[in-house]
Structure 1
């Protein structure tokens, strides 16, 4: 069977999304058992989460299922698909390590849980927000895997909206809870790209 690069890219993307769901599910179930002490959910945060879901799952999923918008397609290259596959694998590795390191502290929204701890080990020793790093890598991999200007770029746009609507609020919340410890941690680490940003 002779598979085209476009089909392989779509299959890798689908497998990556399935992997994302498999990784997140047990942590989401466990997190529901830990009481929330403070919830900072806001309209802008919901907008960011919807944008990320739309850009990283709904728009590309619609494209993979229907081929629409076909007018935005371009010719894929095997080397581009390979880069996309590697990026998606790295994204899922960071995503899983981040969840594992957070453990009972993990939350999909801006929440402080009972006995919340400041995590500075594992991927958190390199960046303050490795979960966003994994989303950035997912968005980049999507741009490589899906040879369509709309579906491919939707992930980066969705990630950017989530990141810029939420990261400042998240850091303010952590400063309120952990004070000087978090400020010292901020001084030693970058936000999402080690040594750069």
Structure 2
């Protein structure tokens, strides 16, 4: 089996795993009442951009090889590093869903009896779900040997992150007040000890 094909298979398995991690959280979330919803057009755009950059464009490349002109040869180190990054992304992604429990939402929402979670990956960063998306984008860039596909993952992540993170933190400040402000003082946004 060609190295490039193996890389594409690993990426596809990662996407399937991502879905199976996310699906139970979506079902569970529907059982809990929403008390505040900050979803707007920019939030929806960020979600679409992330879906396109981390799903649609790489999926198209994995299935068809398009865009052909931006493709380069896969390397063994890319397979190894991409697999490690994608596995790390899935581990963080699963841990965030587990820690959030009934508080999870795909959008900017506060649920009934919402709690401030500061354990697990949330002990290190305020937005580990975005950390997982950043790791997925990096894993995608190494696994799928195409410049456009690699860039698409990072652009999809960036659109979601930068369009939402300030609004998300403002919403948490309004709901949790000084508790969230203190939590912000002791944690970074998405990269432990850095940013």
With the length of structure 1 as denominator, give the TM-score of the two structures. 0.98
> After TM superposition, which residue ranges in structure 1, 4 or more long, deviate above 3 angstroms?
none
Q: CA deviation at 1:124?
A: 0.2
1:95-174 matched pairs, under 5 angstroms: 95-174=93-172
Separation in 2 of the partners of 1:70 and 1:154? 15
Separation in 2 of the partners of 1:19 and 1:164? 25
Separation in 2 of the partners of 1:170 and 1:80? 34
Is contact 1:142–1:153 with CA below 8 Å preserved after alignment?
no
What is aligned with 1:183? 181
Separation in 2 of the partners of 1:180 and 1:5? 52
Match of 1:36 among 23, 26, 34: 34
Separation in 2 of the partners of 1:172 and 1:116? 15
Aligned length: 195
* 3-state secondary structure, aligned to 1:26: helix
* 3-state secondary structure, aligned to 2:110: strand
Is residue 2:35 matched to residue 1:70? no
Give 5+ residue unaligned stretches, structure 2.
Answer: none
Aligned CA-pair RMSD: 0.5
Q: CA deviation at 1:152?
A: 2.0
